[in-house]
Amino acid sequence: MKPVKILRIAFNMVKANKLRSWLTIIGVIIGIASVMTIVTTGEFFQDQVTKTLEELGGDTITIVASVPFNFMEENASQVIVESENGSENGNISGGGDDLSNSMDFGDVETPKLTKMDVFTLRRVHGIQYINVNIETSAELEFGGKKTSVYVEGVDPRAWPNITKKKVGEGRMLQPGDRTSVVISNELANDEALGRQIRVNQMILLNGKSYRVIGILAKDGGLLGGLGGLFGSSIYMPYEEVNSLSTTEEGVDEKETDVYDSIEVKLYKNVDYEATIKEMENMLRLSHRVDEKNQDFYVSSGKEEMENTKKLINGLTAFLAFIAGISLLVGSTGIANTMFTSVLEKTKEIGIMKAIGAKNRDIMLIFLCNSAMISLVGGIIGILLGTAAVQVILFLISISMKVPFEFALSLKGTIIATLVSIIVGLIAGIVPAKSAAELKPVDALRYE
């Protein structure tokens, strides 16, 4: 039989039972739309998180000083040895009698990162830029009004190359800058100051005067949505932080050449993991520690990013699996409908066979029938899924304050389409086969 004729007969079968066909189609629609929605939403979240983590410096590695993890379990003698080590190096801080520094560890030296560590890291091959960070807070005075700001001392030679922040007006810090600062967009527009800070205007920090040479661009994406977690910030050459005289109680004066953290950016094509290992090893050597009593912590944003991605991936896969079940239910619906029509059409199958139809013809008619149902279900499901995805993403972007963008997961669409075709075929094949293999006499006798 010619394909056109088979299609026409199959189409008439679908049409002859409109209600049943539509009910079956609805099952397929729901299955496909939910798979698409979940896969696309999952991919959206993954994108957002990746973007955000990258903005936070996803590919930079941060080193901070930290008390050894197993410090509490270490026995007392070890503690003493370590403190002796410290004093031998002449590195001991004056913090012994400073309450805020000594905490509960008695006379144990507080771990810290110093210029020495920067020298150590310079010898690691894969490293392109090394930035040092010193954080503090200061009182800003502008146009007669005062506000408290977060100050970050950075290395003007490396920071512009490492940070994900972009300058909106003016310029970034440059090597050689001393009393120049870059300020955040939030600070420039801080309402507490009464008027906007502009590029090239002077501000007072703890009474010392600095020139604003750049204003950062507003953060986009998820971060911007957080409303500027680090809202009113000032970035200045790190040497300058030490000369900010402390005014407030509780804010300790920063030691020269001691850093709160060191940020490192690797060359593009180096082995990420191996370089991190090398860094850790060299730092351990220079600190004379081993893995157990290591007094620094290397955190690579990439690792966290990968972990988060994996987590979202897993979650998406899990949800897609659940959505897949609804697709499976939809396909059972097709199979059920097909079996019902085979039963209903038994006599007609007998008649068609009596007048010369081959098993193949009968089989194709029923397969086309289920293919049509799953195709219509698939198309409407994809359209509906696309619409549902946009609505969901729109709501998400409103609640996360990120700009809404049309998004459609190619993967999700392809999966949904393929699944709908496969589902239609599998659900159709068994009933179609049983229809085709009916013996003509038996089929004819069927009432």
Partner 1 sequence: MDKTLIAFRNVWKTYQMGEVQVNALKDVNAEFEKGEFTAIIGPSGSGKSTMMNLVGCLDVPSKGEIFLKSENIARLEESDLAALRGKTIGFIFQQYNLIPGMTALENVLLPLEIQEIDDNIAEKRAKELLTLVGLSDKMQNKPTQLSGGQQQRVSIARALASNPEIILADEPTGALDSVTGKEVMTMLYRFWKENGKTVIMVTHDMHLAKYAQRHIELKDGKIVRDETNQDQLCPEY
Residue 16 or 202 having the CB closest to partner 1: 16
Tell me: does residue 441 bind partner 1 (CB under 8 A).
yes
- Binding partner 1 by CB under 8 A: which of 11, 16, 310, 404? 16
127-142/202-205 β-pairing: antiparallel
Q: How far is the CB of 381 from partner 1 (least distance, A)?
A: 28
| Interface region with partner 1, contact rule CB under 8 A, candidates 102-110, 150-158, 163-171, 351-359 | 351-359
| Interface region with partner 1, contact rule CB under 8 A, candidates 12-20, 191-199, 251-259, 380-388 | 12-20
The two tokens of residue 294 are 């290591």
Residue 16 or 322 having the CB closest to partner 1: 16
Q: How many positions of this chain bind partner 1 (CB under 8 A)?
A: 24
Q: How far is the CB of 10 from partner 1 (least distance, A)?
A: 12
Tell me: does residue 356 bind partner 1 (CB under 8 A).
yes
Residues 411-440 that bind partner 1 (CB under 8 A): 439-440
Tell me: does residue 358 bind partner 1 (CB under 8 A).
yes
Residues 246-265 that bind partner 1 (CB under 8 A): none
Tell me: does residue 7 bind partner 1 (CB under 8 A).
no
Residue 68 or 350 having the CB closest to partner 1: 350
Tell me: does residue 367 bind partner 1 (CB under 8 A).
no
- Binding partner 1 by CB under 8 A: which of 94, 355, 403, 406? 355
Tell me: does residue 146 bind partner 1 (CB under 8 A).
no
Tell me: does residue 363 bind partner 1 (CB under 8 A).
no
Residue 405: C-alpha distances to residues 185, 391, 397, 413, 445 (Å): 24, 11, 9, 17, 61
List the x/- string, 309-348, binding to partner 1 by CB under 8 A: --------------------------------------xx
Query: Residues 6 or more apart from 371 whose CB is under 8 A from it?
Result: 10, 421, 424, 425, 428
- Binding partner 1 by CB under 8 A: which of 23, 103, 325, 354? 354
Residue 2 or 268 having the CB closest to partner 1: 2
Residue 48 or 341 having the CB closest to partner 1: 341
| Interface region with partner 1, contact rule CB under 8 A, candidates 188-196, 308-316, 356-364, 413-421 | 356-364
Residue 10 or 205 having the CB closest to partner 1: 10
8 Å CB contact between 129 and 100 = no
- Binding partner 1 by CB under 8 A: which of 244, 333, 353, 366? 353
Give the interface with partner 1 as residue ranges (CB under 8 A). 1-2, 5, 12-13, 16, 347-348, 350-361, 439-441, 444
